[in-house]
Chains A and B, each alone.
Chain A
């Protein structure tokens, strides 16, 4: 089988920007790399960009990549964006005009402005991601820019970043306005300054990128999914969210479809479930779109050569084949005899903790594992109130429990009554606190001497957006708010990159409150500190409490969820280093969906052997103090409270 068999049926070939989006772990990076390689082989100059703060592009290509484009083979260049560094570079370039705008437009002095510009910016990955893509593409060194995005939730935030950049330009423009008027009237200088040029650049970039993203001739979107229920649900939500943003997805890649093979109880069962999922995808999305199936490789493809040998074929006849698989049998858990060990063994890493984070690479099963542990902890002691909170903007808790879950904590049928489940809706939380934020912005504006600019911000529509960084900020605020009401909080985080951003948020939020408090104090003779100061003191106190809690290994633990495969293992190793740096305790790694009772077909044997080898490498990387918990592969994955609790008893 060959990749993209004929170029004529690949609609995206005419786009200059091609985004690969989808749930974590579906193979966005691999698919984007394959696509980029094909275009490079056809003679085009291709730039492959990864915007996920937890990059796996280098892992997939089998190359060491950096924050500036590196040539791989032929005309294919690849780059892993480093947003905080890109922001620092951007600041260096624009520090002078930016400082001038702030100094001219407010009564802040150089010292204040420097303190403000030192702060870490929320949503930096999305804001700088979009500006960096524009900068790299603007050099006209490439015919095509292929973007490998972060998993769904943050991909959607990336796409709303241009609007936020536009708001920034508007606010800077309002600050600069008075200075410009004075300059024109008194000094009779009509010549634009560097500051004016910066504002014009930002406004232009925001407009141009927003238009380009919605122009189907210039920008193509490929949605990557797996033939399974959770990915399918996220595909439905994701494509709808893109459509609401005015972006059309025209290509869908169904990745890792099991090819035909020898009879095997494990693989045959999976093939049947996959056919049902593929039929559903075809039924819902095939109209007006191309659906491609990519067969699963026995080994994870790594390196350009392996990637190039991957085959893609069109989804012709998939629906017909799928219809024959009507009946579904009960879920089967493929575990070995090892599961006879007492399962209470695995409660130790969780026992006594009041804050448990579950994190890891996209698609490894964080939500399923977190849900099972939360249900188990609630069952173990009915006097404890347990909150299971998802902070990933692309939630799957509802799908895992087979129930409608929202921003208000609720109980789940079949689960212990002391377990409450919530999917944080950061945009709604932002809207709820709208008045509070607007009040705060007014007070800040008054404190720095620019009442007018707060009106610009109010009219700019920022409050109607879900700006980048919002999920991490409200994730942390919800944890702070919920602390008093629950004995145990289990947090199901977004995939690695943004889970780390979430954990960095308390420190960043503390810096922000400190800088603002210092300014309010400094100018207190001009403007009396009021409601804002009182609120900042309260926020600062609770963030300080949270930072202490996060560092307390007896109270807070981070459980890394992964799979026994190469790419997840490489990402896990990097995650462990970052968590250690953040001084977080990691008492256990959950290796999810292990093929503990493999079938007898050649594929199952290879998979089992690969898993054993990867598990051994993982053990070596994780250190002795970290327990390894293995959960057996369940086909289909456990859904509903009862199934989750039952499944958690089979962990070894």
Chain B
């Protein structure tokens, strides 16, 4: 049972590590875009750009972010704000007790 558990957890961990790595890669990919969006928001608040100009930048940035996500085509879509902090596993016998 112990071996099975550790195998199960081991392979699960492998998959999850992949997911985390993928999420991190994605985050790095669009971080520049997010900075760009934040910068545009700052400029809008400072009155350096107009609402229309901001809307245009926002549209472009969001489209670019979608494109990155689309390229991945992965079934798991994660936002950079999501973090994997741990996994809970319950075996069948334990839950029967």
A residues lining the B interface (CB < 8 Å): 513-514, 517-518, 520-521, 524, 528-529, 533-534, 536-537, 540-541, 544
Contacts and interface: CB of A to CB of B under 8 A. Distances in A.
Nearest to A539: B45
A524 B46 contact: no
A524 B42 CA distance: 11
Contacts of A529: 35, 38-39, 42
B59 interface: no
B1 to A, nearest CB: 45
Contacts of B43: 521
B39 A541 contact: no
Contact of B39 (A514, A518, A521): A521
A301 to B, nearest CB: 52
Contacts of B46: 514, 517-518, 521
A193 B23 CA distance: 54
Given A514-B46, A524-B39, 8 more contacts: A514-B45, A517-B46, A518-B46, A521-B42, A528-B35, A533-B42, A534-B38, A544-B45
Contact of B45 (A513, A524, A528): A513
10 contacts: A521-B39, A521-B42, A521-B43, A529-B38, A533-B42, A534-B38, A537-B41, A537-B42, A537-B45, A544-B45
A521 B49 CA distance: 13
Contacts of A520: 42
Main secondary structure of the interface of A (DSSP, over half): helix
A532 to B, nearest CB: 11
A520 B39 CA distance: 9
Nearest to B45: A540
B79 to A, nearest CB: 15
B35 A517 contact: no
A20 to B, nearest CB: 45
Interface string B27-49: 00000000100110111011000
A518 B43 CA distance: 8
Contacts of B42: 517, 520-521, 529, 533, 536-537
A517 B45 contact: yes
Interface residues of B, number: 8
Nearest to B47: A514
Contacts of A541: 45
A395 B45 CA distance: 36
Contacts of A513: 45
A517 B35 CA distance: 14
Nearest to A520: B42
A535 to B, nearest CB: 11
A548 to B, nearest CB: 14
A609 B32 CA distance: 74
Contacts of A517: 42, 45-46
Interface in B34-77: 35, 38-39, 41-43, 45-46
B22 to A, nearest CB: 23
Contacts of B39: 521, 524, 529
Chain B CB within 10 A, most for which of A513, A529, A544? A529
Contacts of A521: 39, 42-43, 46
Nearest to A528: B35
Contacts of A533: 38, 42
B66 to A, nearest CB: 21
A533 B36 CA distance: 12
A527 to B, nearest CB: 12
Chain A CB within 10 A, most for which of B35, B39, B46? B46
B57 to A, nearest CB: 14
A231 to B, nearest CB: 45
A534 B37 CA distance: 10
Nearest to A521: B42
Nearest to A537: B41
Chain A CB within 10 A, most for which of B35, B42, B43? B42
Contacts of B38: 529, 533-534, 537
A468 B39 CA distance: 33
Contacts of B45: 513-514, 517, 536-537, 540-541, 544
A529 B41 CA distance: 12
Contacts of A534: 38
Nearest to B31: A528
A521 B47 CA distance: 13
A328 B35 CA distance: 69
The 5 closest A-B pairs by CB, nearest first: A540-B45, A537-B41, A517-B42, A537-B45, A521-B42
A576 to B, nearest CB: 32
A528 B39 CA distance: 10
Nearest to A543: B45
Contacts of A524: 35, 39
A10 to B, nearest CB: 58
B26 to A, nearest CB: 18
A538 to B, nearest CB: 9
A38 B41 CA distance: 62
Contacts of A537: 38, 41-42, 45
Contacts of A518: 46
Contacts of A514: 45-46
A540 B38 CA distance: 13
Contacts of B35: 524, 528-529
Nearest to A524: B39
A251 B1 CA distance: 83
Contacts of A540: 45
A554 B63 CA distance: 40
Contacts of A544: 45
A525 to B, nearest CB: 11
A541 B46 CA distance: 10
A629 to B, nearest CB: 41
A540 B47 CA distance: 12
A539 to B, nearest CB: 9
Nearest to A518: B46
A480 to B, nearest CB: 15
B35 to A, nearest CB: 7
A223 B38 CA distance: 53
B39 to A, nearest CB: 7
A535 B39 CA distance: 13
Interface in B3-38: 35, 38
A514 B45 CA distance: 8
A470 to B, nearest CB: 24
A526 B69 CA distance: 29
